[in-house]
Chain A
Amino acid sequence: MAKVSDNKIPSLVDHLFRHQAGQMIATLVRVFGPRHIDLAEEVVQDALLKALQLWAYKGIPDNPSAWLIQVAKNRALDLLRREASLQEKSEELVRAFAAQETLANQRSESLSNNATLDDTLALVFMACHPSLSRESRVALTLKTVGGFGTSEIARAFLTKEPTVAQRLVRAKRLIRDEGISFDLPSSREMSARLDSVLEVLYLMFNEGYAAHSGENLVRADLCDEAIRLGWLIVQHPATRLPKSNALLSLMLFQAARLSARVGEGGELNLLAEQNRSLWDRRLIALGFHYLERSAAGEEFSEYHLQAAIASCHAAAASYELTNWEQIVRLYDLLVALNPSPVIALNRAVAIAKHRGAEAGLREVEKIIAHPALQQYYLLPATLGELWQELGEADKAADNFHQALRCPCSEPERRFLQRKLATVTNQS
């Protein structure tokens, strides 16, 4: 196994501006207070535009972070002089930015135990506060911590820009009205508050993962960002709970398969068809690293089980050599912990692999009428696969037709059409 460094999370693209924006906003929100997120955003945007004007001509300086921080600080001081209610904050601001600048100068990759990490995590907890709706939490986290634009969030979630903008306005208003604080939760509250954060990361990652395709890079960015935040969370002793490590491990295992998931023609490749030599070994090694860490302590979460299942796939040399027995066992535990029909469906697939298509069909039949699955294309798609395996081409075709009537992404649609073509040729 490759040696794992805990200091740095691999990223596909260098999102310097997004990450820097998030860090600066975190520092500014701490100084201005959560009531003034808009002000913080304005300062950061000004600093970035200033960089745009100069760096387009003169190139990116050796230490872009320190430069941006300096510009943001000057801009913020201007604003503080203007805003009577904030005038006393200038000393605090100078101190806060000095700390960030030191960090930028050191170009330290290890963030633990410093004010910047504290600020960033406090911003994450604020944006993921349980009193905000799930959609708002995701949008606000991407906007403030992740440095995503409203338009990018809208594209990533296939929603309209005004809808996202409205969510952000409402979320900020709620933060103001409820007086939501800008701190790391106390150890008593930590586990519950962390759940709300991990849920956001999980949603963010899945949204990016489910629709990952070459023509939709913004959504791949969601995976990147979820992993980056997951990694930040395990850097801090207060948030480094076993479930944080488990979720990070899960996301790393899944991300390792991203490039094998979409074929050259943009088609979706399921696990069975994936070229495993395309899997990112570095990410898999990191996945095992954090899975091991997640085993510390008593806590046992859904993320643990999902990460363990993902690790079975990552460890298998081929689809045929997958340890389905172990996967079925893990799904049994997972269904007991969370009786979601989607998990039950995945369990049925594992059972089909382990005990045969008929056993799988019997499991699917138990959940076939579940209201939550009626528009879920993977239900008929799974049935189609199983009937095909049993040589029932007509029944398989019916199910693939039905799957195509459910909402799904373009690569998923092409995948279903490909499946349909194979059974139509058989009959």
Chain B
Amino acid sequence: MPQYMLISQDSMEIPEGFEITPEIIQGIIQKYNDWADGLQKSGHLVGLNKLREDPGKNIVGTGANRVVTDGPFAETKEIIGGYWIINAANYDEAVQLASGCPSLEFGSRVEVREVEDLSAFGG
């Protein structure tokens, strides 16, 4: 079955005057966990990873031309928060499963990309 990567493009901006209380934090965690548990139980979830919330590094060029800068997303204020890999029959199903991602409730963009099947290359 094809695999899809769901990439959560999180906005780094917290709306003005919005207070993240302990109860809200607990609620958000619960939502993500419930969603992932559902995917796990239905056998869709292959794996997931959380990327650290720092700007990261950006490399361009090689040798003497190599330039390393901080944070590839500094201007867009969006950062890849993390990703999930799921099994799905096709894009329709992948999108449908991704639509339950709590990131969407918090204004994030979720990118859905099919993973290239490299098994023919012995991968």
Contacts and interface: CB of A to CB of B under 8 A. Distances in A.
Interface stretch (A143-151, A194-202, A227-235, A352-360): A143-151
Contacts of B81: 53
A16 B26 CA distance: 8
B24 A57 contact: no
B53 interface: yes
Given A53-B50, A53-B53, A57-B50, A151 B21 contact: yes
B23 A56 contact: no
A55 interface: yes
Report which residue of B25, B28, B50, B102 has the largest number of chain A beta carbons within 10 angstroms of its beta carbon. B25
A3 interface: no
A54 B31 CA distance: 13
A192 to B, nearest CB: 32
Nearest to A14: B26
Contacts of A15: 22-23, 26
Contacts of A161: 17
B32 A56 contact: yes
Interface in B4-54: 17, 19-26, 28-29, 31-33, 36, 48-50, 53
Range of interface residues on A (Cβ < 8 Å): 20 to 34
Contacts of A16: 26
A55 B37 CA distance: 13
B100 interface: no
Contact of A56 (B20, B21, B29): B29
Interface string B99-110: 000100000000
B33 A149 contact: no
Interface string B72-111: 0000000001100000000000000000001000000000
A18 interface: yes
Contacts of A55: 29, 32-33
B28 A52 contact: yes
B23 A17 contact: yes
Given A56-B28, A59-B33, A149 B82 contact: no
Contacts of A60: 29, 33
Contacts of A148: 21, 23
Contacts of B102: 56
A21 interface: yes
Given A51-B29, A147-B21, A151-B21, 15 more contacts: A15-B22, A17-B22, A18-B23, A20-B22, A21-B22, A49-B25, A56-B31, A57-B82, A59-B36, A147-B23, A148-B21, A149-B20, A150-B19, A152-B23, A221-B23
Interface of B: 17, 19-26, 28-29, 31-33, 36, 48-50, 53, 81-82, 102
22 contacts: A17-B26, A18-B22, A18-B23, A18-B26, A51-B25, A52-B28, A56-B28, A56-B29, A56-B31, A56-B33, A58-B48, A58-B50, A59-B33, A59-B36, A60-B29, A148-B21, A149-B19, A149-B21, A149-B24, A151-B19, A152-B21, A152-B23
